Amino acid sequence: MALEPIAITGVGLASPNGLSLKEFRANLLTGKSGVRPWTIPIFGDTLAGICGFDPLRHQSKKELRRGTRAGSISVWCAHEALADAGIALEGLDRGRVGIYIGTTEHGNVETETEVLNLRQYGDDVRYWSHHHNPRTVANNPAGEVTLSLGITGPAYCMGGACAAGNLGLIQGVQMLQLGIVDCAIAGGVSESPRAFGIFASFHAQGALATHADPTKASRPFDRARNGIVVSEGGCLYTLERVSDAKRRGARILAIVSGYAVNSDAADFVLPDSDGQERCMRLALAHAGLEPGEIDVVNTHATSTPSGDVVECAAIRRVFASADKVLVNNTKSFIGHTMGAAGALELAGNIPGFEDGFVHPTINVDHLDPECEIPGLVLNTPRAAASQRRILNMSFGMLGINSAVIVERPSL
Cα three-residue angle 110-151-194, rounded to 5 degrees: 20
- Domains of the chain with bracketed CATH: 6-247 (3.40.47.10), 258-407 (3.40.47.10)
Nearest-angstrom CA–CA distance, 406 and 388: 9
> Cβ contacts of residue 93 below 8 Å, gap of 6+?
182
- In the prediction, which pLDDT does 68 show? 96
> Cβ contacts of residue 257 below 8 Å, gap of 6+?
5, 287, 289, 389, 405, 406, 407
CA distances for 293 relative to 44, 142, 300, 405, angstroms:
47, 35, 20, 11
- Helices and strands, number each (H, E), in the chain: 14, 15
Which residue from 130, 108, 105, 104 is spatially nearest to 42, judged by alpha carbons?
A: 108
Per-residue exposure over 273-306, b if at least 16 CB sit within 10 Å of its own CB, e if not: bebbbbbbbbbbeebebebebbbbbbbbbbbbee
Global pTM reads 0.97
Can you list the positions of beta strands (E) in 165-291? Answer: 183-190, 230-231, 233-241, 254-263
- In the prediction, which pLDDT does 56 show? 98
- In the prediction, which pLDDT does 411 show? 62
- In the prediction, which pLDDT does 164 show? 98
pLDDT digits (tens, 9 = 90+) for 162-204: 999 999 999 999 999 999 999 999 999 999 999 999 999 999 9
HSE of 229, CA atoms in CB hemisphere, 13 A: 31
Tell me which residues of the chain have a pLDDT lower than 50.
Answer: none
- In the prediction, which pLDDT does 89 show? 87
The one-character DSSP state at 115 is H
In DSSP terms, 382 is beta-bridged to: 358
Nearest-angstrom CA–CA distance, 336 and 113: 22
Nearest-10 Cα torsion for 292, 386, 371, 167: -80
Nearest-angstrom CA–CA distance, 409 and 411: 6
- In the prediction, which pLDDT does 1 show? 60
Assign 392 to helix, strand or coil: strand
Dihedral (CA of 406, 408, 410, 411) sign:
negative
pLDDT digits (tens, 9 = 90+) for 264-291: 999 999 999 999 999 999 999 999 999 9
